[in-house]
Structure 1
Amino acid sequence: MDLQDQLKKLFPEHTPEETPKVEPSNVWLQDDPIICKYEKRKGKPTTIIEGYNGATEDFKILAKELKTKLSVGGSFKDDKIIIQGDYRDKIMEILKEKGFTVKRVGG
């Protein structure tokens, strides 16, 4: 007897909810690569993403998606996404999955 059967016996009237499907974001893709670089600010590592040519609202949406997927803090200032910590490899993978070309700078 697996866990699903045990739960059905304990809660017969419960119907499991469907998980919501994640829709692909409508972020404008560009020809030039996005620059992903590493810096230390006040002794702490930060990852900076810059070089996006689309609308700033799309870049803010992208920043929010990156922060939630990585579960880290960050901000959006001066057309740059600033992520706390060194997450260049993970960010580059996420952006490549979305269809962006990414250039790694520094280290």
Structure 2
Amino acid sequence: MIFPKGVWKGLCETCLDSAQKTHLIVDKNQTSCRKGRCALCGDKTGVFPVELQIPDFSKGVVKKEVNVCNRCLKAVDEAYIGYKREQIEQKHAHH
């Protein structure tokens, strides 16, 4: 399911969670990157592996590791925080 608000670049909630976890690991441990092309912005730079789940009609879901640059990981982290904030606000609005 793709969420129209709070999600960056059309990532579903599961993939957003995965990318955000990678951001936290990279941010905390200063994990070394490898050179490659970012799957989100297309820049050739230092990238980090992120596991995404891609819908597949015959298999259901296929897990695929893609390269994401640090700049996009930071943007994903911001989107993740905004998305979770939206969820909390909606929950409180219903009570």
TM-score normalised per structure 1? 0.30
Give the greater-gyration-radius structure (CA). 1
Greater fraction of residues in helix: 2
